[in-house]
């Protein structure tokens, strides 16, 4: 599982759904707390967590993923997150 820190988790979850991604836990506060989280699934079934927090200069520095279909995964992460691979 990977975690991705975002300022607007609600907006990111909608963006993921609109681009064909799957949200497995809708955005909302954690039980007993106020931090907003959501979970999503990539095309290979890997889960990743979205955590809402204040803006930082480096929200995501490095990620290593094992994927079943490299081209499909590259297209997904470029399309949903605008990652450069």
Annotated catalytic residues are 49
The residues, ordered by sequence, that sit 6+ positions from 61 with a Cβ below 8 Å of its Cβ are none
Strands 47-52 and 36-41: antiparallel
Could you give the residue ranges of the DSSP H alpha helices within 1-85? 9-18, 70-81
């Amino acid at each position: 599982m990977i975690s991705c820190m975002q300022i607007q988790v609600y907006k990111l979850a909608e963006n993921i759904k609109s681009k064909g991604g799957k949200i497995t836990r809708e955005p909302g506060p954690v039980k007993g707390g106020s931090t907003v989280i959501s979970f999503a699934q990539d095309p290979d079934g890997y889960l990743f967590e979205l955590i809402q927090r204040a803006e930082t200069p480096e929200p995501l520095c490095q990620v290593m993923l094992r994927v079943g279909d490299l081209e499909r995964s590259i297209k997904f992460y470029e399309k949903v997150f605008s990652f450069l691979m």
